[in-house]
């Protein structure tokens, strides 16, 4: 984004159509999972991709998760944004972070999916356990769960302020966990990847880098305050979201 594109990796045509997934042994799940895992691994393990300025830690505040969210395991949490109670799944590894503070990855699902499915298809929680970082799976809104981004049909598009949701969620998480504010990353599939691009455009002081699968930067106006590194995977045969060049 804004001259800081890390890379685009195009899959072969027999692995290309990653605009949806099959839950029962389908051919699409494996390449998509591989791409998502590679995106997360690059973001987390690269190390050099982080913000180089001091970010104030928000004041500690309560987070509604039903129990102690700092304990290892999965926690379903919610935060009030406007008139909506927004939910997200937090995965905490059993071992402490390798560095003094946690690295955080936000993983956004695609249209019609949900936070739990994103955890399953991405396998990010297993990677987080191994590499000791926090991973959060936010939940979109709507009859067909989605994110309010460009190029999603009006019948499917959520009208929620998802950027405000992410900001509120991060404020709460910073109040509970010792998170390295220079290592907050966004990753997403399809519509979730579109939102990751949107966050890079509108929250560049906060989002260190993004990794997306089957998604492009479709924002009509993208004026980040700083260049945001991107790693993107897009199938050549994806008929749902055209790749670079159409």
Give the C-alpha distances (Å, rounded to integers) separating 100 from 45, 96, 132, 134.
16, 9, 11, 13
Q: CA-to-CA distance for 58 and 206, rounded, in angstroms? A: 12
94/87 Cα distance (integer angstroms): 22
Between the alpha carbon of residue 135 and those of residues 23, 72, 105, 177, 234, the distances in Å are: 22, 12, 5, 12, 23
Question: How sure is the predictor about 10, in pLDDT bands with cuts at 50, 70 and 90?
Answer: very low
State the pLDDT at residue 38. Answer: 63
pLDDT at 11: 37
Question: With 50 as the cut, is the pLDDT of residue 8 above it?
Answer: no
pLDDT at 23 over 60: no
Closest CA to 38 of 236, 227, 211: 211
Higher-confidence residue of 154 and 221: namely 221
User: Percentage of residues in the chain with pLDDT exceeding 70?
Assistant: 68
H-only helix segments in the chain: 29-45, 115-122, 124-131, 162-176, 191-202
Arithmetic mean of pLDDT over the chain: 80
According to the model, what pLDDT value does residue 108 have?
98
Distance between CA atoms of 160 and 29, rounded to whole angstroms? 29
Between 83 and 57, residue with greater pLDDT: 83
Give the pLDDT score at 137: 98
| Token pair of 163 as six digits | 């950027």
């Amino acid at each position: 984004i804004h001259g800081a594109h890390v890379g685009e990796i195009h899959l072969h045509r027999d692995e290309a159509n990653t605009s949806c997934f099959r839950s029962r042994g389908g051919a699409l799940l494996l390449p998509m999972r591989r791409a998502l895992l590679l995106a997360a691994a690059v973001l987390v393990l690269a190390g050099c991709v982080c913000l180089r300025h001091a970010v104030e830690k928000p004041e500690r505040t309560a987070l509604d998760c039903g129990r102690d969210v700092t304990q290892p395991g999965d926690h379903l949490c919610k935060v009030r944004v406007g008139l909506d109670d927004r939910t997200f799944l937090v995965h905490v590894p059993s071992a402490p972070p390798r560095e003094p503070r946690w690295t955080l990855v936000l993983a956004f699902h695609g249209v019609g999916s949900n936070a739990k499915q994103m955890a399953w298809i991405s396998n990010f929680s297993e990677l987080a356990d191994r590499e000791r970082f926090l991973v959060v799976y936010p939940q979109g809104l709507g009859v067909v769960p989605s994110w309010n981004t460009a190029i999603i049909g009006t019948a499917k598009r959520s009208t929620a302020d998802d950027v405000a949701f992410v900001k509120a969620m991060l404020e709460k998480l910073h109040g509970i966990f010792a998170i390295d504010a220079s290592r907050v990353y966004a990753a997403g599939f399809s519509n979730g990847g579109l939102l990751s691009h949107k966050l890079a455009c509108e929250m560049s002081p906060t989002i260190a880098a993004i990794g997306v699968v089957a998604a492009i930067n479709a924002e009509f106006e993208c004026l980040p305050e700083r260049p945001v590194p991107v790693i993107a995977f897009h199938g050549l045969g994806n008929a749902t979201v055209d790749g670079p060049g159409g």
